[in-house]
Amino acid sequence: MNKIRVLIVEPHKEPRQVKIVHTLENLQKSVDGLIEYVELDYQTDLICNEEGKLLNMELNRRLGNDIIAGTFLVVGQHNEATISLSRKQISKYKKRFRLNTLK
């Protein structure tokens, strides 16, 4: 099975690097429901629960003028395919989504 290196960001916890099996079902399980992709930059996406706010999931981190509800993943992206994060991306997004970040 193909595994990818991602950051998992849970409410009230520091982001942590994990390797997950790269399947739709596993991505959905990681965010507890239907997935939504949000582009962070041209090589990085955020995957969250599409209905997080409607399901009253716990508010997690600010993203621009919005707040992501529930656990989310940060993943690499190349030609619209989900791939592992690079070490540089891991470092960048661990800092961006550390606790008490208001960005």
Alpha-carbon distance of 40 to 26, in angstroms, equals 21
* Residue 17: closest CA among 95, 103, 77: 95
28-72 pLDDT, tens digit each: 999 999 999 999 999 999 999 999 999 999 999 999 999 999 999
Beta-strand runs (E) in 1-103 = 3-9, 16-21, 35-41, 44-49, 59-63, 66-69, 72-78, 81-83
Tell me the whole-structure pTM to 2 decimals: 0.92
Collapsing DSSP to helix, strand or coil, 33 comes out as coil
